[in-house]
Structures are given as structure tokens and as C-alpha cells.
Structure 1
Amino acid sequence: MSTTLHGTPTVTPRADGLPSLRAIEEAAGVVYREFQATPQYRWGLSSQRLGTDCWIKHENHTPVGAFKIRGGLTYFDALKKSGTLPLEVISATRGNHGQSIGWAARAHGVACTIVVPHGNSIEKNAAMRALGVTLIEHGQDFQESREFAIQLAAERGAHMVPSFHADLLRGVATSWWEFMQAVPQLDVVYVPIGQGSGACSAIAAKLALGRKLRIVGVVSAHATTYADSLAAGRVVEAPVTTRLADGMACRIADPAALELMAPHIDHLVQVTDDEVAQAMRDLYADTHNVAEGAGAASFAAAMQERSELKGQVVGTTLCGSNVDSTTLASVLGAC
């Protein structure tokens, strides 16, 4: 059976709207045309720091340095299979979603315009342009960029690619499917929440594989729409003041993501920019991998709760490494 979220047909969803095991396995076939499964390691120093076994899923090792590429690949594959591949797509981003859409659009010969807010990451902008993206700067935050992108798509008759959609979830879920199969003993995973695709995809993989691990959502303490919305049972707008975690800088939660997330998230952890910066330093020292703010958030959350994790196998995700060089130098230099 098929359904729709935001107007585009999805492929083999479950009754609750999450992708089934078969859908995730099919999505993996699409993803692996571009790159193979990313690694996950039990890092000794990170485990020592956390006080228990800590596994890190390295989504920073994809061709765009972030997990989002998986969703872009499956989204465009669904468009192609349904015969609705457009001439032009438009979307909004703080960077990693835009690289995902830019990569997939280029692969399918589709023109791509991406809207980012003023002051967006210089290096993420450069990476999108290198993929052939036409970049437009508009608005002071992601929400303003998103609203402008929707308006622009309507004016041009272009296809608006949302930040949360069932066909994006199928692709992103392949990361968690890989992780949970590779480390079946996981007791708990920490998942950063931006627009919600990562958390909902972790839930999908857990249910598809029949695992009993706990999923802990991680939000920025300076962008609390998902924490506030889950507590209230409805979308609650919240201001965004984070300086580091641009991948989590969401002002208005997606209602479809909230609906899927609410029954399955064990609890939420709010991490400050200072905690994120420390996690960026810790991950670099322990693994010599670079983490952007959102990419370090799950480790920051685990560290915040480390006294409660003794004897458990903990999974975190270095979900992105696309941090500007000047920002990284400033963070590492603040030891």
C-alpha cells in the first residue's frame, strides 16, 4: 500500500507511516550504488571517557560528510520510479540536506536551487555550489528560508523537496539499520533531532529489526521546538539561538515527525553549545574525526547522562563533519 507525506508517493510504508524492513532493505540497494555502508567503531578513549562501551556510527564518512545523502538518494529514486522526476527541484537547508538534494539532483540531471539563511556556513555553501546547486541566501533562519523556498517553487512550477518526508526516511533509516545489525548488543542510542528524519529513521530501524534498545532524542538547548512540542502534544514554536549546532537549528517542529516520534522516544536530552563544543573536542581527541555541532550532539548527550549508563552498550552517531574551518579552529583552540 502507498501513502503520501507532503504530496509525493512513498514506497511500502508500515501502517504507522514508518518504512518497513523490506523498504529499508530496498533503500539500502539504492544507497549502495553511490557508497558502501559506513563504519561503526567501539572507540577505546570514548568508552573510557563515557565509563561504558561506546560505539560511534561514522556518517561523516559518506561522500558529503553527513547522513542526509541517504535520504536524497531514495527520494529521487522514488520520483524516478513513479515517473514524476521534475525538471527542477527547490529546497531549503542549513547545509547537509542541501548537499544531499544537490548530489541526487546532479545524478538525475535535474536542476537544483537551494535556499539558505544569511550567515550560513561558508563551507557548506561552497560544497553545495560544487555539486551544481544554485544557491540563494534569504531569511534570518531556516524557517524563513523554507517559507521562501516554498513560495519560489510555486512561482516557478518546480518541485519543492521537504526536509521531512517518508521517502527521505527510508534512506536515512539504512544508517540505523546498518548500526543495529553490526552492533546487536546496543542498549541505547542517542539521536540528534533537527527536522526529525534521523530520530524517526532510528525508530523505523528498531521496529523493523525487532530490537528493544532505547532511543534517546537530543535537541539543542538553544532550539527547543521538539522538546516543547513533544511535552505539549502539539507543535510549539521556539526561538533558535544556537551558535554551533546549525543542523539542529529548527524553530518550528514538523507535525508529521512529531506524530511518528512521540510514541517511541524514551526521553529527550537538551545539550548546550558549551557541551557540544566539548564533545567536538572529545571526539577529535579520541577518534581524530571532525564533528560539526550537530554531529557531536549525541556524544554530548551521552556524556551528560554518563552516570546513568554504567554497564550499558551505548550508540552515538557522528552524523556530520561539515563545520567551517574557522569554527573548528576556534572550538579546538578553546581547550
Structure 2
Amino acid sequence: MTDFVHSARVAEQAMRVLFPPTPLLRNDFLSQRFGADIWLKREDLSPVRSYKIRGAFNAMRKVLADKPDQKVFVCASAGNHAQGVAFVCRHFGVNGVIFMPVTTPQQKIDKTRAFGGDNVEIRLIGDYFDDTLANAQSFCARVGAHFLSPFDDDDVIEGQASVAVELLNVMEHAPDIVILPVGGGGLSAGMRSYFAEVSPQTEFWFVEPSGGRSLYAAVQAGEPVTLDHIDTFVDGAAVARIGTKTFAALRDVPADHVLGAPEDRICATILEMLNVEGIVLEPAGALSVDVLPELSAQIAGKTVVCVTSGGNFDFERLPEVKERAQRYTGVKKYFILRLPQRPGALRDFLEILGPDDDIARFEYLKKSARNFGSVLIGIETKAPKNFDRLFAQLDRAGFTYQDITEDEMLAQFLL
């Protein structure tokens, strides 16, 4: 047994003072859909609704064992690591200063305060995680506190490996495939390192949001690189640079095993898991499930574990998630219609709509035009094919229109 395997098992046992193992549940819906034996490791059901409590606990436990007088810990987090640190600070009776991006969902901020109570102070600094991280590290150096990295720390990586310990403890045989979400790489580095010793035959797939593929970029370059731009929608995994220590454990990952999940598609997955299974997943927590259709050929007939890494979903975001999901699945479109300024023109357009077509938005953009007016229209329907019929009818009727659903620039200003 290697030191890492032993330490991961010790960490898993130590954290039982905080919470029992998270459930590993077979999902009949997904198993039947993909012809596989699919299990969900429900990290969304931990006390802080994510796996981040594990690394935070293990790192703080080991620091306090060496330095019992250490009283202040500092972290930077988009939310889940913050909640884990806050929970563990209160458990150990130490103080925490938690730096969070200004863009962090309010639900995660409120939960962090609730978990930490009087033991934590929250500072909102930076639009992106990497800005927040720099501020936290600078503060930590000034006051002599101990910095708890969200992922790039050996003890944190070791703590996250406890997910692997738990699932192998309860499975009759090791899974054929494990699918993991990737942000900074702590969970992936820990689990892959553990499996490499205990079940080297298990195949791994890694999933990043398309707007933040830091692991893929690093694998391609052979070293960590900083992305020029990231999309922060998947806030729990939107990291511009993979960790140095985490990449050391992931550098030999095949590039074609690092998948990118489009943000709008993730929204569709969130809604499906909520509506069909009653499982609440945040965007990062849905990553491993989101790529199952893409991997349908590889997983057929195999035992698969998807780690649902977090369930800290702010329901104030639900309208945006629904909107993005509808646009991705093709049941909602926006277009600009050139409407003649004459009596009956609007009625002519309305008569073209089918029985399943609903107007979700109708707004004149040029109210002073003499002969024609430009109208922004949003249409919801029950099946994507209905738009083929609608646009064909508009063409036959001689209407001029432009589909702007996929026009990101116009969407920023109009939608």
C-alpha cells in the first residue's frame, strides 16, 4: 500500500466525525436510457452539498495536528470550498477569512455565513476566481494566517480522494468507468491517484465547462497555462488555470478524455435531473451527467460512476437556466421581424403561428418607422421541428426576418 492510499483511507475515516459517507446510488433512469449500469456518487448530499468539505477538513486537520496554536485560516472560493472551510472552521473552533468573487451566487454566500457563523468573515473581491485568489494570498501573507487552497494542496487532494475510498468500499466490484467534473483539478487528481493504485483498470473521463477548459489546455501544452477568458456561468468549475500540483497527477491524461460541456447544454441537464429525478444539481455538479449522451458508445454495457459534485443551486437562476436550456434544445428562438405598418399586418403574422407556438416576447424596436417596424419576437414551441414549419410559412407570406437566437452580440443587448 502506498503512502497516498494509506493517507486517503485515514482521511476518510477521520471525517466520519463530521458526516457519514455520501450515498452511491444506482440511477435507473440513466441506466435504462444508456444501456449501462450507472451510479451517482451523491456529493451534492454532503453537509455543505458538495465534496469540498473533504479537502478542507483534511487540510485543516493536519495543520492543527502540527500547529495547535494556528487560529486563522484563509481561503479563496467561488462558493463550495468556502462553505466547506466555513463548516470546518466552526467544527475546530478556529477563525476563517473567506474571499469570494463578487459574481458568486447569493445562495452560496448566505450558506457560507450560515455554516461558519461567528467563526468566519466573508470578503467579496474580484470578478474572476483568479483575482480573488491573488487577493486572498496577499492578505494571508500580510497577517500570517494559513492559506487553504481550494485544490492546489497535497492535503486537499488527499481529502478529495476520500470520495474514491467510499465508493470502492461499497461497490461489489470496481467500476469500469468514472466520470469526473474538473475545475482546479483537486477531485480529479485525488481520485485518479487513488484508483491508479487500487483499480488501475478503471477508465477515467474528465469534464470541463466549454468556457473554462483549463485542464484540456494544460494537457495540450504539457504544462498549466492561463486561459485568456473564461465563462463564469459554471461558477464551481470556472477556473482559468489548472493547479500545478493537481496537473502533476493529471499530466498524462489523454487529451481526448477531457471533454468540454457547453454551458447551455448543462442547463438542459440540470432541468432534466430536476424534473425527472428530483435531483438538484448546480452547473458544476451536472457536468459528469451532461456528457453521458456524448459517451453513449463507450459506456454501453459497463458499470459507470458519475460524481455529482455539488447541489448548491440558487433557484433565482432557474429562469436563466430554463431560458438557456430551451434555446439549446431548439424549442425557443428569437428573431427580428420586419412588420409592415398597415392594418392587419400583425394579424397576418399571428395566423401563421401553429397550435404549439407561444409568443414569449414581443417588442417593437423601431416605433417611428414610416412603412415598416422592426419587432423582436421570442417564440416557444413544443418541438424544434415546429420552427421549420413556421419559417417556411413566413417565407411564403413574404415576411422578412432574421433569426438571432445564436447571435451572442445581439443577445447581450436584446435578450
* CA 1:215–1:222: 2 relative to 1, 3 Å: same
| Partner residue in 2 for 1:116 | 100
Residue ranges of structure 1 left out of the alignment (5+ in a row)? 1-12
Counterpart amino acid of 2:186? S
Residue 191 of structure 2 corresponds to residue 202 of structure 1: yes
Q: Structure with the greater relative contact order (CA < 8 A, sep ≥ 6): 1 or 2?
A: 1
User: 213-222 vs 203-212, which deviates more?
Assistant: 203-212
Deviation at 1:50, TM superposition (A): 2.8
Residue 288 of structure 2 corresponds to residue 298 of structure 1: yes
Residue 159 of structure 2 corresponds to residue 175 of structure 1: no
Structure 1 CA distance for aligned equivalents of residues 199 and 28 of structure 2: 28
Structure 2 CA distance for aligned equivalents of residues 278 and 305 of structure 1: 17
| Partner residue in 2 for 1:161 | 148
Deviation at 1:211, TM superposition (A): 4.0
Structure 2 CA distance for aligned equivalents of residues 327 and 85 of structure 1: 42
Contact 1:46 1:283 in 2 (8 A): no
| Partner residue in 2 for 1:42 | 26
Structure 2 CA distance for aligned equivalents of residues 21 and 237 of structure 1: 31
Deviation at 1:243, TM superposition (A): 4.6
Deviation at 1:263, TM superposition (A): 2.7
| Partner residue in 1 for 2:132 | 145
Counterpart amino acid of 1:196? G
Contact 2:25 2:41 in 1 (8 A): yes
Q: Deviations over 1:189-228 (max 9, x none)?
A: 1111111111011112212423411111111110012111
Alignment of 1:1-335 (within 5 A): 14=2, 20-130=4-114, 131-132=116-117, 133-163=120-150, 164-183=152-171, 184-264=173-253, 267-332=257-322, 334=325
Deviation at 1:332, TM superposition (A): 4.8
Structure 1 CA distance for aligned equivalents of residues 125 and 174 of structure 2: 45
Structure 2 CA distance for aligned equivalents of residues 89 and 328 of structure 1: 34
| Partner residue in 1 for 2:370 | none
User: 21-30 vs 58-67, which deviates more?
Assistant: 21-30
Q: Deviations over 1:139-180 (max 9, x none)?
A: 110000000001111111211111221111222111122113
Structure 2 CA distance for aligned equivalents of residues 144 and 257 of structure 1: 20
Deviation at 1:49, TM superposition (A): 2.6
Counterpart amino acid of 1:101? V
Counterpart amino acid of 1:94? A
Structure 2 CA distance for aligned equivalents of residues 64 and 87 of structure 1: 22
* CA 1:320–1:79: 2 relative to 1, 3 Å: same
TM-score (norm 2): 0.73
Deviation at 1:318, TM superposition (A): 1.1
Structure 1 CA distance for aligned equivalents of residues 229 and 111 of structure 2: 24
Counterpart amino acid of 2:301? G
Deviation at 1:110, TM superposition (A): 1.2
Structure 2 CA distance for aligned equivalents of residues 215 and 328 of structure 1: 31
> Quick one: percent identity of the two aligned structures?
23
Q: Secondary structure of 2:39's partner?
A: strand
Counterpart amino acid of 1:27? A
Contact 2:19 2:46 in 1 (8 A): yes
Q: Secondary structure of 1:200's partner?
A: helix
Counterpart amino acid of 1:71? G
Q: Secondary structure of 2:246's partner?
A: helix
User: 280-289 vs 254-263, which deviates more?
Assistant: 280-289
Contact 1:280 1:293 in 2 (8 A): yes
Counterpart amino acid of 1:233? G
Structure 1 CA distance for aligned equivalents of residues 285 and 244 of structure 2: 24
Deviation at 1:185, TM superposition (A): 4.1
Cα RMSD of the aligned pairs, angstroms, is 1.9
Aligned residues: 319
Contact 1:244 1:276 in 2 (8 A): no
* CA 1:85–1:165: 2 relative to 1, 3 Å: farther
Contact 2:230 2:240 in 1 (8 A): no
TM-score (norm 1): 0.90
Q: Rg bigger for which structure?
A: 2
